[in-house]
Amino acid sequence: MSAVGDAVLMNIANNIIPNDRIKKISTGYAPRPLQSIIHQNMKRFNVLVLHRRFGKTVLSINESIDRALRCSLKNPQYAYIAPTYGQAKRIAWEYLKEYTKGIPGAKPNEAELRVDIPRPHLQDKIRFMLLGSENPDTLRGIYLDGVVLDEFAVCDPTIWGQVVRPALADREGWAIFLGTPKGQNHFFDLYNKAKKNKDWYVCTYRASETKVLSDYELRAAKDEMSEEEFLQEFECSFTAANTGAYYQKLMLLAESEGRITSVPYDTACYVDTYWDLGIGDTTAIWFLQSVGHEYHLIDYIEMSGKGLDWFVSEINKRPYTYREHILPHDASARELGTGKSRQETLRTLGLTRLYILPRWKVDDGINAVRTILSKCWFDKNKCERGITALMAYERKWDARNQIFTEKPKHNWASHGADAFRYLAMGVRPESQRVQSELLTNYREAQGDYDIFEL
């Protein structure tokens, strides 16, 4: 491609206007040598693993502008997607405005975080949008000619396959995945798949190699950070453990021991379900079989924007013989609109043998998960989303004090991790099951009692 920074405003390739009327403009971007190499080698799909302060956001914004100004399709649209909408604004908005301000007619919209560039000669416009991945369903239905997925290791992984990739299909759009590693999660999987595909461009640039940062600055950072943090953020290591992750090491151990594999349904054993119920949010359900001293996770459901009837239908579609359905403590709370609890609603929908867990501290639940993970086997296909959530579940980062807090970060990974936390607190070994059958029946009888019917 031509030097990004001196962008051609008109589409030369299709000779839309005569050469003597072609106007060149400068965005003011002067790429560093390594950035130029990346620009020159990019393909339709690209995975760029770049150390902190490499300049990846500036690179991707200018690549997007250059490609957009050369696009011959009608009303092209481009998106920059960060893990959250707030992050997109903080990271990229000022850059997008800065590098488009010299383009005639460019109009930024502060309220919607978009920039429109009119093309009078084509009687249309180019649109750049800043978006967040925290709720992928809100992005469905749009078309895209190109997309930048920044900090993809932290983004909801479903946003690519379920939302963005289909949005690129009819216009054969392009994509750039950016970020530093966060352990061996979905970004790691994408990186490995891309390396094997000749149609993808993949590169890794480590701080020790690029010389973007001085040796003094790197030494200072190394002294002030843990080894894992430094290797992850500056040396782009996928093998360094994600410092803030709760279960990543234990999940990697499960993988190395062959416990993330094909786990068939055992018709001789009952199935229990463990729920994290979302109100206007995502609901997640784990399907578990207790087999001797092992816990077999044979299935997993996660979906947003669906009512309880949808989840009951999904449960009934499966060929499992159920014993109990374990709900979080707030399932017994009555909703003001209906006067019913979600436990009662589920029973009305035909789901019986419901058990509501007591309320426990989150820390206790996290410790319980750590205790039982060594006994767990996961079906790698049916539980893929849940496994990814457990790998990515992490502590919240306190930017002001530059430390991880003791509170979990609430993001896309929370739903599967919370449901598994309830599983860890509610699961009972087979040896206790016979004794508990009478208690289970008592729970059900207790749940039918309604003070409003007196």
Q: Find the CATH number of the domain harbouring 188.
A: 3.40.50.300
Q: pTM for this one?
A: 0.70
Domain-embedded: residue 99: yes
Pair 193, 328 in one domain: no
Distance CA 309, CA 320 (A): 18
Asked if residue 387 lies in contact with residue 420, where contact means CB atoms within 8 angstroms, the answer is: no
- Single-letter amino acid code for the residue at 157: P
- pLDDT of 191-238, one tens digit each? 999 999 999 999 999 999 999 999 999 999 999 988 888 988 999 988
Mark which of 239, 258, 291 sits at the end of a domain.
239
Of 233, 261, 21, nearest to 121 by C-alpha is 21
- pLDDT of 124-170, one tens digit each? 999 999 999 988 877 888 999 999 999 999 898 889 999 999 999 99
Domain-embedded: residue 1: no
Q: Which two tokens stand for residue 323?
A: 């014993």
Domain-embedded: residue 244: no
112: buried, middle or exposed (CB in 10 Å: 19+, 13-18, 0-12)?
exposed
**Is residue 172 left, alpha or beta, with left meaning phi > 0 and alpha meaning psi from -120 to 50?**
left
Mark which of 212, 239, 266 sits at the end of a domain.
239
- Single-letter amino acid code for the residue at 75: N
Strands 395-398 and 282-291: what pairing? unpaired
- Single-letter amino acid code for the residue at 175: A
Pair 199, 58 in one domain: yes
Pair 234, 311 in one domain: no
Pair 274, 234 in one domain: no
Cα separation values, 386 from 53, 260, 271, 389, Å: 32, 12, 17, 5
Pair 129, 176 in one domain: yes
Q: Which residues form the domain of 191?
A: 6-239
Distance CA 298, CA 96 (A): 46
Mark which of 211, 239, 267 sits at the end of a domain.
239
Number of domains in the chain: 2
Pair 203, 262 in one domain: no
* Residue 372 φ/ψ, nearest 5 degrees: -95, -15
Distance CA 249, CA 384 (A): 17
Pair 234, 276 in one domain: no
- pLDDT of 251-303, one tens digit each? 989 999 999 999 999 999 999 999 999 766 789 999 999 998 999 999 999 99
Domain-embedded: residue 169: yes
In eight-state DSSP terms, residue 162 is I
Of 348, 377, 351, nearest to 287 by C-alpha is 377
Distance CA 5, CA 62 (A): 7
Domain-embedded: residue 453: no
Asked if residue 20 lies in contact with residue 8, where contact means CB atoms within 8 angstroms, the answer is: no
Looking at 165-169, 190-194, 391-395, 432-436, which range is the least confident one? 432-436
Pair 210, 326 in one domain: no
Give the pLDDT of residue 2: 41
